[in-house]
Amino acid sequence: MFVFFPLILVAILIIVTNIRIVPQSQAYVIERLGAYMSTWEVGLRLKIPFVDRIAKKVSLKEQVIDFPPQPVITKDNVTMQIDTVIYFQITDPKLYTYGVEYPLSAIENLSATTLRNIIGDLELDSTLTSRDVVNTKMRAILDEATDPWGIKVNRVELKNIMPPAEIQDAMEKQMKAERERRQKILIAEGEKTSAILVAEGEKQSAILRAEANKESAIRVAEGEAEALLEVTKARAESLKLLNESHPTKEVLSLKAMEAFVKVADGKATKIIIPSELQNVANLATAFTAVGENKGK
């Protein structure tokens, strides 16, 4: 009994040491006698001692690789440095294990050659303004090329585009000149708008002044017309009352004399009186009164 106890203990120890727990987001590639046997996913697993072995532990999470800058030449023969960032995920642990030796290095070299091919068809200005186009093309090419390796490329980003120093200096001068040009245009447009507004204001002011003068003249004319109308009405009313009172000849003569005085308006030096008015008894009195008024 005591002889078998160590053997049982060793057997239990061997079984325990061959129990594996596959964690979440990982997969184990298992080989049996040197050949691929299966892929373990999350859970409790038991491998056969001395027969099975874990060939590779693969992470199924999305991974990020930041490759160092790569020298590339544009279509207009400008050499620049571009570094890329690739987001990928392992979808088939078996293909990832047996598809290519050093898969990350293979992805790096593939991304470098793909980037050179794409940038070689673009000029400098297009390269600087077409990041999205380059990213999309690289992702499509890399995703297709890495399918046999069990890798899916989710996204590719150009992290930095670094032209030569002289090109950067020329670009900065160009941008400075462009900013100054835009500033001058804005100032000119502001001055133009200000001049237009001032002219519009002066125009509106002149229109308003002309309308005010017109309105004033109309009101003065209307006032004079109304005054003349009132005077005419008053005279007509006076004549009407005079006719209704059946005036004597002497009264009529006196009224005629008053009319002559008004015609003279204080400026005439000589008044010719009709002969029929000279016989009026009160004519001398009327002239005397008129003369006194003139002397005053």
Same domain, 21 and 103: no
pLDDT tens digits, 171-200? 777 778 888 888 889 899 988 888 898 888
Same domain, 45 and 116: no
Query: Would you say residue 262 lies in a domain?
Result: yes
Q: Which pLDDT score is estimated for 61?
A: 92
Query: Would you say residue 204 lies in a domain?
Result: yes
* Nearest alpha carbon to residue 89 among 26, 25, 152, 23: 152
Same domain, 191 and 112: no
Band the pLDDT of 295: cuts 50, 70, 90. Answer: very low
Question: Please, what is the angle between helix 283-295 and helix 249-264, to 10°?
Answer: 20
In angstroms, the CA 154 to CA 25 distance is 17
Q: Which of 16-30, 194-208, 220-234, 251-265 is least confident?
A: 251-265
Continuous H helices in the chain: 4-17, 93-98, 103-119, 124-129, 131-145, 165-244, 249-264, 283-295
Q: How many domains does the chain have?
A: 4
Band the pLDDT of 155: cuts 50, 70, 90. Answer: very high
Q: What is the mean pLDDT of residues 147-166?
A: 87
Q: Which pLDDT score is estimated for 153?
A: 93
Q: Cβ distance 126 to 132 under 8 Å? A: no
What end-to-end distance do the CA atoms of the chain give, in Å? 170
* Nearest alpha carbon to residue 118 among 106, 136, 105, 104: 136
What is the DSSP code string of 129-146?
H-HHHHHHHHHHHHHHHT
Q: Kindly report the average pLDDT of the chain as a whole number.
A: 80
Query: Would you say residue 238 lies in a domain?
Result: no
268 three-state secondary structure: coil
Q: Please state the separation of Cα 41 from the chain's center in Å.
A: 53
Same domain, 139 and 218: no
In angstroms, the CA 20 to CA 30 distance is 12
CATH number at 149 reads: 3.30.479.30
Query: Would you say residue 288 lies in a domain?
Result: yes
Of the three residues 227, 256, 274, the one that is the final residue of a domain is 227
Q: Which pLDDT score is estimated for 284?
A: 43
pLDDT tens digits, 4-42? 677 777 777 877 778 888 898 899 999 988 889 999 988
Same domain, 72 and 55: no
Same domain, 288 and 257: yes
Query: Would you say residue 133 lies in a domain?
Result: yes
In angstroms, the CA 151 to CA 91 distance is 6
Of the three residues 41, 59, 77, the one that is the final residue of a domain is 59
Task: Identify the domain containing residue 110 by its residue range.
Answer: 62-163
